[in-house]
A and B are shown apart, each in its own frame.
Chain A
Amino acid sequence: LAKTTQPISMDSYEGQEVNITCSHNNIATNDYITWYQQFPSQGPRFIIQGYKTKVTNEVASLFIPADRKSSTLSLPRVSLSDTAVYYCLVGFKAAGNKLTFGGGTRVLVKP
């Protein structure tokens, strides 16, 4: 079962780019990497998912090196509303897998 490690917290300022790296050294061949965002008292919300190289959507980019032992979520030009906890999740491709969230990274965006 792939375990993930993320920084506990990071601060940024409005308009800056935020990069959060997640380590997942024992990721399995069939595992995907998924990032979720969670605001206080709300359920997590899907941000982005990838398997290798780079994935980009309207809110974020996900960079995955060739060895797939880590991944980096990039949030371009953050705003105050991006203040949240971000979770990296690995696994779930094969039937029967448990899902294990890491501790999450608390991102605080300052004015």
Chain B
Amino acid sequence: EAQVTQNPRYLITVTGKKLTVTCSQNMNHEYMSWYRQDPGLGLRQIYYSMNVEVTDKGDVPEGYKVSRKEKRNFPLILESPSPNQTSLYFCASSMTSGRDETQYFGPGTRLLVL
């Protein structure tokens, strides 16, 4: 089954404790991205990756890091989480060529930073 998976689905942590949220897709997609969703602010893109070893900032990259060492994985790293990073996070992937640009979203990771 074609899907995007994220882990963990729920996470409670404390300020300053490094964490990683994993994202994996099994559709051989080149494009992957991370979003955060906050009440009243909709979906905001954090980082995106056009392919392996190619990443770039989205609209709200501060406080986050990403890596793309393999095509299928795109982890989101919070080196020193702060309470303002409490949010619902979504990973997404899609093809980049032709008209098939539908994004497939993961189930979301709800993060609480105390």
Query: Looking at the complex, which of B14-22, B70-78, B79-87, B105-113 is the stretch in contact with chain A?
Result: B105-113
Q: Are B106 and A43 in contact (CB under 8 A)?
A: yes
CB distance from A68 to the nearest CB of B (A): 16
Size range of the chain B interface in the assembly: 20 to 34
Q: From B90, B96, B103, give the contact of A46 (CB < 8 A).
A: B103
Q: Are A43 and B101 in contact (CB under 8 A)?
A: no
Q: Does A45 contact B (CB under 8 A)?
A: yes
CB distance from B103 to the nearest CB of A (A): 7
Q: Are B43 and A87 in contact (CB under 8 A)?
A: yes
Q: From A45, A92, A95, A103, give the contact of B105 (CB < 8 A).
A: A45
Q: Are A104 and B42 in contact (CB under 8 A)?
A: yes
Q: Does A99 contact B (CB under 8 A)?
A: yes
CB distance from A20 to the nearest CB of B (A): 14
Q: Are A99 and B45 in contact (CB under 8 A)?
A: yes
A34 to B104, CA, bound (A): 13
